[in-house]
Amino acid sequence: MRYAHIVGWGCYLPEHVLTNDDLANIVETSHEWIYTRTGIRERRIAADKESTATLAFEAAARALAIANIPSPKVDLIIVATSTPEYIFPSTASQLQDYLGATRAGAFDLSAACSGFVYGLSMAANAIASGSIDVALVVGAETMSRVLDWQDRGTCILFGDGAGAVVLRGSDVPGGVLASTLRSDGSGSNLLSLPNLSRNPVPIYGTTYANGHHKQTVHMNGRQVFRFATKVISDSIEDVLEKANLSMDDVSLIIPHQANVRIVETAAKRLNVSVERFFLNVDRAGNTSAASIPIALCDAIQNGRLQRDDHIVFVGFGGGLTWASAVIKWDVTPPEVTALRRNLRRARYVFARARTRILRLGRQFVAWVGGSPTPEARLKDADKKTTLPKSKIDDDHES
Ligand code: COA
């Protein structure tokens, strides 16, 4: 029997801080309103040059450093995100490349704010089955790029950031003891982020779009609040039953960091003190799939986790989705020497250089063979699919 242990963790928050007072200059709101309704004081906003993949890299590199595992030893990379730069390639593939994790499979996971716990469960099961040994599970988001900054009901809630854990297989019992994943798609209209493909394109011979969907977060705050308070308690009870544990065995619950009032209400439902929940939503806002691993890092930093503690992660969000995992925290991070740290940095620089060389090599082969480069192919395809403007306009008017 193999057990999936968390052996490394890391998080990254962009430098730029957006306070509630800053927000009051953007929409009609106030620090008092936001803080009393949500518990949020400030959130971080990614710089122009940052992307979900670069945030993921910062968090993943820190997690691998703590685990003291070189990136080529990683078998699987899962990035939970609702804000990938591309539908494909996946953010996980970009991350795999940045890390030089040359032996890893990589894919993105879409389960909104529950995504990190979903990813953890998938990776832990893959390790327990013996099919892989080392997995990197990342939650990374640039929510600031998909918010309607005129909608005060949503733009005050979210922030950017990334968190990661490294899971490693071991014969020693412990690590991820149980997980439970759930979904209720009937509530998909309560919290959503439409994609480009929601908008039909005007190709000759097909119907035209009736209206365009704004590609920003839409939310029914009250309904989501009600859903969240219910599923937190149900999900925790479910996972503890699966692991044959009771609430008394749990030292700390790390919930998705959406809102302090949601957690307070859930704590009442569970009949436990809110002190048993770790909260850092005040400083990071709701970073969606990244919030649990970021909170884990803060909890470790604040000395809230002791060896052999049982901890519970609980996520909830769009889908609707919700998920919990119970973990035996039996981690002793290895000593990392300065030499190893520097070797790791050199590997990441090498990984970037390797990518450039591979791309140049492909261009060269294409040039020698006389076949067009991928960029030229795309331009050519564009020409072929573009209809004469007058034809589209004629059809549209008729
Ligand atoms: N600042 C000031 N006023 C605001 C505001 C803001 N940022 N956002 C909304 N309001 C106003 C509304 O316009 C409304 O005014 P009205 O009564 O004049 O119409 C009033 O405040 C109440 O709005 P309502 O949406 O009912 O507020 P609420 O008490 O439900 O609080 C949330 C709103 C979003 C804070 C709350 O519903 C919530 O936390 N929901 C959960 C959201 C969440 O966590 N989502 C992510 C889950 S992963």
Shared domain for 60 and 203, answered yes or no, is yes
Could you tell me if the CB of 259 is within 6 A of ligand 1? yes
DSSP 373: P
Atom of ligand 1 at shortest distance to CA of 156? 7
pLDDT at 341 (0 to 100): 79
Which DSSP letter does residue 288 get?
A: G
Q: pLDDT under 50 in the chain at which residues?
A: 208, 385, 387-398
Cβ-contact 34, 65 below 8 angstroms: no
Give yes or no for a contact between 321 and 183, defined as CB atoms under 8 angstroms apart: yes
| Domain match, 8 and 136 both | yes
Both ends of the chain: CA-CA distance in Å?
67
Distance, CA of 382 to CA of 388 (rounded, Å): 12
Question: Is the domain of 201 the same as that of 349?
Answer: no
For residue 37 and ligand 1, the question of a CB distance below 6 A is answered with yes
Same domain flag for 84 and 120? yes
Among protein residues, the one with the nearest Cα to ligand 1's atom 20 is 153
* CA gap 252, 305 in Å, rounded: 8
Angstrom distance (rounded) from CA 164 to CA 137: 6
One domain for residues 227 and 121? yes
Distance from residue 37's CA to the centre of ligand 1 (Å) = 8
Q: Is the same domain home to 369 and 307? A: no
Does residue 273 share a domain with residue 226? yes
Strand duo 42-45 + 16-19: pairing = antiparallel
- Whole-number pLDDT of residue 396: 41
* Residue 317 beta carbon below 6 angstroms from any ligand 1 atom: yes
Distant-in-sequence, close-in-space partners of 369: CB < 8 Å, separation ≥ 6: none
User: Do 344 and 201 share a structural domain?
Assistant: no
Tokens of 186: 């009937």
Same domain, 14 and 57: yes
Residues, the chain: 398
Task: Determine the distance separating the centroid of ligand 1 and the alpha carbon of 271, expressed in angstroms.
Answer: 26
CA atoms within 13 A on the CB side of 369: 9
Q: What is the pLDDT of residue 330?
A: 85
Q: Which of 316, 336, 356 is the last residue of a domain?
A: 336
Task: Output the CA 34–ligand 1 centroid distance in Å.
Answer: 9
CATH code for the domain in which residue 169 is found: 3.40.47.10
CB of residue 391 inside a 6 A radius of ligand 1: no
Contact 278, 260 (CB under 8 A): no
Pick from 309, 336, 363: which residue ends a domain? Answer: 336
Single residue among 336, 353, 386 that ends a domain in this structure: 336
Please tell me whether residues 200 and 343 are part of one structural domain: no
Taking the C-alpha atoms of residue 95 and residue 309, their distance in angstroms, rounded to an integer, is: 31
Are residue 250 and residue 374 in the same domain, yes or no? no
Residue 187 in tokens = 């509530």
| Residue 369, pLDDT score | 83
Q: Are 63 and 35 in contact (CB under 8 A)?
A: no
Is the peptide bond prior to 193 cis by the omega test (within 30 degrees of 0)?
no
pLDDT of residue 397: 39
Among 37, 189, 193, the mutation site with the greatest number of ligand 1 atoms within 8 A of its Cβ is 37
Rounded to two decimals, the pTM is: 0.90
β-partners of residue 179 are: 325
Query: What range defines the domain where residue 378 resides?
Result: 339-397
Is the beta carbon of 35 within 6 A of some atom in ligand 1?
no
Cite the active site residues: 113, 256, 286
Same domain? For 296 and 325 the reply is: yes
Residue with tokens 């000759």: 204
